[in-house]
Structure 1
Amino acid sequence: MNKGYLWVLGSALLVTVAQLSLKAGVVELPSFSLGWHWLQLEWLADNAASLGVIFVGLVCYALSMLCWLFALKYIALNKAYPLISLSYVFVYILAVVLPWSNEPATALKAAGIAFILLGVWLISRPSKPLTKKAK
Structure 2
Amino acid sequence: MAETFLLEVVTPERLVLQEQVEEMSAPGALGEFGVLPGHTPFFTILRPGPVTYRRGRERHQLAVSCGFAEVGPDKVVLLAETAELAHEIDLRRAEARVRETEEQIREMSVADPTYEAVRGSLEKALARLQVLRGRE
TM-score, normalised to structure 2, is 0.26
**Quick check: which one's helix share is greater?**
1
- Structure with bigger strand share is 2
Who wins on radius of gyration, i.e. which is larger? 1
| Larger RCO, structures 1/2 (Cα 8 Å, 6+ apart) | 1
State the TM-score, normalizing by the size of structure 1. 0.26
